[in-house]
């Protein structure tokens, strides 16, 4: 059991390994350089590399995830994407379950060359993640306004957008009073319950997209690597409804989410719906997870004109207003 736990921990850390294990061994270095790898695991993995065992295809719960090195290799094929990217549309702060402040996240975004970030803390129904209520959302608005004024006074060309990760019930309804949402720049709608259903969940998604408060459907499948397979649906229909309403579906770049997956993104592209990129970062360092979102978009052959993150802040607001209208 201790070895199984160590292997599970290492398998998740492997998403973030800066180099492939094969390359490290080829350089004559120790695999113990890698996070979560001690001498025992280094020996086991080294043996697997030297004499690869017969391994079946991974089960769906572990399939179609990119490592950091794979992601980096993909977005370097289109280096202009990184420089053209104007912002990140999902992240959390200490207002809910993040560890950084609004200002911390904004300055980290500025260092990445962004024109905007969207603060999407959890709404009140998700108590386990410190969800905020309507009054807290208004207090956060005051902080965001103050941070924007401070950044502008320093000549930093980045703007913090007011947003929220609205918790949706299985019927597609949010958990906040609608007037409190009207003043937000964007609303990200996400399911956080009943995520292990086996039967088709198409109607749940259609209802969420038809919710007039929602601009972006966040981490749609709800999958988590080696933990939860996520929901199934008639995805062509779901993406078709999103395209009809000019709404967006998200590529959540958190390493063990990577949701939507590349196979579904290809269907989304075919439908013509918009796509949003978000790191789901919970501290400033996790903004680097945008690499996974970009890599998935590139491998899916998405066009930048369908990705919200390549818009300017004004273009993004105009789109959001048209969706509300």
Domain shared by 296 and 207, yes or no: yes
> In the prediction, which pLDDT does 2 show?
86
DSSP H helix total and E strand total for the chain: 13, 8
Domain shared by 205 and 262, yes or no: yes
Look-up of token digits 């980096």: 72
27 HSE (CA, 13 A, CB side):
10
Domain shared by 192 and 236, yes or no: yes
Sign of CA dihedral 301, 196, 236, 242: negative
Domain shared by 15 and 140, yes or no: no
> In the prediction, which pLDDT does 124 show?
97
Cβ atoms of residues 111 and 152 within 8 Å: no
Per-residue pLDDT band at 75 (split at 50, 70, 90): confident
In a domain, 65, yes or no: no
In a domain, 63, yes or no: no
Maximal CA-CA distance, the chain: 62
Domain shared by 190 and 99, yes or no: yes
In a domain, 225, yes or no: yes
What 8-state DSSP symbol labels residue 199? Answer: S
Q: How many domains does the chain have?
A: 2
pLDDT per position as a tens digit, 281-301:
999 999 999 999 999 999 999
Rounded average pLDDT over 174-192: 97
**Could you give the strand order of the β-sheet that contains 248-252, starting from the edge strand earlier in sequence?**
165-168, 188-191, 216-217, 248-252, 274-278
pLDDT per position as a tens digit, 234-277:
999 999 999 999 999 999 999 999 999 999 999 999 999 999 99
DSSP letters spanning 40-102: HHHHHHHHHHHSPPP-PPPPGGG-S---HHHHHHHHTTSHHHHHH--EE--B--TTTT-SS-H
Cβ atoms of residues 132 and 122 within 8 Å: yes
> In the prediction, which pLDDT does 92 show?
98
Look-up of token digits 């802040």: 313
In a domain, 62, yes or no: no
> In the prediction, which pLDDT does 15 show?
86
The CATH number covering residue 240 comes to 3.20.20.140
Output the six-digit token pair for 231.
């929901």
In a domain, 284, yes or no: yes
In a domain, 249, yes or no: yes
> In the prediction, which pLDDT does 55 show?
82
| Confidence check: pLDDT of 32 > 90 | yes
Domain that holds residue 21: 2-55
Cβ atoms of residues 168 and 176 within 8 Å: no
> In the prediction, which pLDDT does 318 show?
97
| Confidence check: pLDDT of 1 > 90 | no
Domain shared by 24 and 141, yes or no: no
Domain shared by 50 and 85, yes or no: no
Output the six-digit token pair for 123.
């709404």
Q: Helix, strand, coil % (nearest 5) of the chain? A: 50, 10, 40
From the list 214, 213, 192, the residue with the least C-alpha distance to 276 is 214
Domain shared by 99 and 190, yes or no: yes
Where does residue 325 rank: exposed (0-12), middle (13-18), buried (19+ CB within 10 A)?
exposed
Rounded average pLDDT over 1-30: 91
Q: pLDDT averaged over the chain?
A: 95
Domain shared by 135 and 272, yes or no: yes
| First and final C-alpha spacing in the chain | 56
Per-residue pLDDT band at 94 (split at 50, 70, 90): very high
In a domain, 61, yes or no: no
| Confidence check: pLDDT of 148 > 90 | yes
- Cα 41 from Cα 28, distance rounded (Å): 17
222: left (phi over 0), alpha (psi -120 to 50) or beta: left
Domain shared by 22 and 140, yes or no: no
From the list 85, 102, 138, the residue with the least C-alpha distance to 298 is 85
Q: How many CB atoms lie within 10 A of CB 155?
A: 6
What 8-state DSSP symbol labels residue 286? Answer: G
| Confidence check: pLDDT of 196 > 80 | yes
Domain shared by 180 and 76, yes or no: yes
Distance of CA 277 to the CA centre of its chain: 6
Domain shared by 167 and 197, yes or no: yes
Q: CA geometry: angle at 18 spanning 258 and 102, to 5°?
A: 60
> In the prediction, which pLDDT does 150 show?
98
| Confidence check: pLDDT of 56 > 90 | no
In a domain, 238, yes or no: yes
> In the prediction, which pLDDT does 79 show?
86
């Amino acid at each position: 059991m201790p070895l199984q736990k160590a292997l599970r921990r290492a398998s998740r850390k492997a998403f973030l390994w800066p180099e492939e294990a094969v390359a490290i061994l080829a350089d004559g270095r120790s695999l113990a350089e890698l996070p979560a790898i001690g001498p025992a695991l280094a020996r086991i993995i080294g043996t697997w590399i030297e004499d690869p065992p017969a391994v079946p295809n991974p089960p769906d719960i572990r399939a179609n995830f990119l490592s950091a090195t794979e992601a980096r290799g993909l977005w370097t094929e289109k280096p202009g994407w990184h420089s053209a990217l104007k912002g990140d549309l999902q992240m959390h702060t200490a207002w809910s379950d993040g560890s950084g402040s609004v200002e911390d996240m904004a300055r980290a975004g500025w260092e990445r060359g962004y024109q905007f970030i969207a603060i999407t803390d959890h709404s009140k129904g998700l108590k386990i993640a410190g969800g905020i209520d309507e009054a807290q959302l208004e207090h956060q608005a005051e902080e965001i306004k103050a941070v924007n004024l401070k950044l502008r006074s320093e000549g930093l060309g980045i703007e913090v957008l007011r947003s929220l990760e609205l918790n949706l019930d299985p019927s597609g309804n949010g958990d906040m009073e609608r007037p409190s949402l009207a003043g937000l720049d964007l609303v990200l709608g996400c399911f956080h319950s009943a995520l292990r259903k086996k039967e088709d969940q198409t109607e749940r998604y259609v209802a969420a997209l038809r919710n007039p408060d929602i601009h972006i459907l966040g981490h749609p499948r709800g999958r988590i690597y080696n933990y939860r397979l996520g929901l199934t649906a008639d995805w062509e229909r779901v993406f078709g409804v999103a395209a009809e309403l000019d709404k967006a579906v998200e590529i959540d770049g958190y390493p063990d989410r990577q949701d939507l997956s590349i196979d579904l993104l290809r269907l989304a592209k075919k439908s013509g719906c918009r796509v949003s990129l978000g790191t789901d970062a919970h501290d400033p360092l996790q903004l680097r997870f945008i690499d996974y979102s970009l890599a998935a978009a590139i491998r899916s052959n998405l066009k930048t004109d369908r990705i919200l993150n390549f818009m300017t802040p004004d273009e993004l607001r105009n789109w959001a207003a048209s969706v509300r209208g």
